[in-house]
Structure 1
């Protein structure tokens, strides 16, 4: 199954290369029996570097890589020769990858652009050879610097899906069905909770050959921020979305109440997410008639743009795309 290939969390042990030791060496030639110091510097140890690559969409290629060790730098040699540098290890990762210290949980950096490179572990600098320590009062130094030690740590890599719109709703709210209708994505669809176990991305065609990306996030339940249901495992994917599309079915007991529960879960997880533009879609509206739709207007939150939609009969989808496009590109007017 394709869904099993979506890996958005890996923990790996990384160790950069040690710097090579500087050389203690003296020039010795046939007619120069007591030449001065000519020990070369040691080479730098290899870095471990993350590089953003838009061709990757999952951390699957790192799932079974538990230890990454960069080569050490080579020691310096005589005649002023510098030791070779340890080869850098460059790890391609999908855009939206966050690197964290596994012990402290501190965020080290994020990779958000194709080709962006950031060092995860820096290799130790090579030690200076004894040539560097020659002075007027010490013409023949018999010492050199050792190379700097390597860096090592357990690192967590987390993927936050990059998309323009994130679908937010309870399980079985119609998120996957909507994505399958408005894009070419083919998420698993079923009439039971938690059909979607991994985020799905779809490119939605808009007017004049424009498009935007929608992410179907696994369903949220009340208490998700405390770890209930699928917990916070997928809430982080919402952080990278420009707009949040809240989806509540028309047959819900109280549309406003369900919407507020979703908002509260996001607020508990990260209050800053509520600064994003929001749109509300009342789904499965093919199940109600016009009269009932008018009655439901009284239960809809007043502070969010909304539209009644039905993915089955494709009702309101054009209006929904218009609202989403406006929310993405016109931050001030919605």
Structure 2
């Protein structure tokens, strides 16, 4: 309760009791967040007893960094709904903070990258990292693959492939990971030198369902091969290779025979490769000094090596 005879207080007393500035009280009042009880004969603001608690809540919400529009939503809700609105507002602010922290970590790692490199390489590294947003966006990588995948790929199959083919940048990167992502972005955004991007022969498989069947099968085979790569196993025939070959037989409508495996070996050997993409993708997701994380590219190489060894042994 305020000490004045009418139970109201002026803006200065209210600000002092709440631990905020008079300017802040005036701002909240002008924006309708802190209603005035009345005005004095001289036009000065007067506040009722409830204003102190409301002002302290305003201060707390703003200390958490909630924008004015979210503060207004919390204050306008009453009863059981108020907690839900507050929870949503704080969760949204946490997401925004997480994005800001990620951006700061990427900037810090980028600065370290420039600072720690030889002077002769700084201009090139500045150019590379300057082309990447913070936090980094993978949109350029997704566009690259959408242009490369078969045009008949269903949207769901394309989304499933992008999920494994596009590396997700770490929230707290090392300088080497920043450099790898910047180089990857430069790789996929450089101008094409040919009339069109070379496509694997498998993309010409007939039928509207063939591309989806092929890539769904390859995803399963790559997952199996990835487990072998993590164990450090050498390429060899087995369930992983059978799944790999089955993806192609299903897409082509063929049977799995020794002759088909020989034909597939030759086709895959002649197909265009994107090795540099997969090397950089692995560098993005693998912390320096840590175990190398498999990618669809390294899984494909493991399976192709297993297929080549098998067909060579069979003569």
- Higher strand proportion, which one? 1
Select the structure of larger CA radius of gyration: 2
Please tell me the TM-score bracket, short chain as reference: under 0.3
Q: TM-score, normalised by structure 1?
A: 0.24
- Higher helix proportion, which one? 2
